[in-house]
A and B are shown apart, each in its own frame.
Chain A
């Protein structure tokens, strides 16, 4: 089970920190990440982090603005979002990689219910 929190309304240029709490499995054995969906639009991958936290990957649209991190002792994954724009308005899903091994990238087998981020201009 993945439960996201931290979403809300923020002004353009502002920052927001999303958090994802995992239960039922140990996050250290899996790549974890974030996928977003703008209202009425399709799915867009945002970022992933390896099981150890040593490796991170970002979509070009968020590179240099978003930072993903994890705390395996707490089974949580965070997404620090800076310099937000209207294009970042979306429902943000926390996801778990489906293949086991902290450095395996393939598909997402567990999804949270999402937390909404709205950026006002």
Chain B
């Protein structure tokens, strides 16, 4: 049963600490998305990658957020330093490039981050 795996599922940290969220995309998928969801802003696209290269990270605060794909099986989203306003659920999704027939994105269960 192929699925997107996100770790950790829950994270509570103190303001100023570094936070790293990880995502394992579905094997064979070449597109990875990072989203943030809050009650106020809904689902916001932070960044997305194709074949491990960043295509668009305009939704990500550059001063404290960074996203990388060290290899095809791992995507990371880091926040340093974290702030209380970063508290949200962070979703990762993976899919295939749009020239394929099946282009739907599959989402992980999310990482619920609380910064105190």
Are A and B associated in one complex?
no
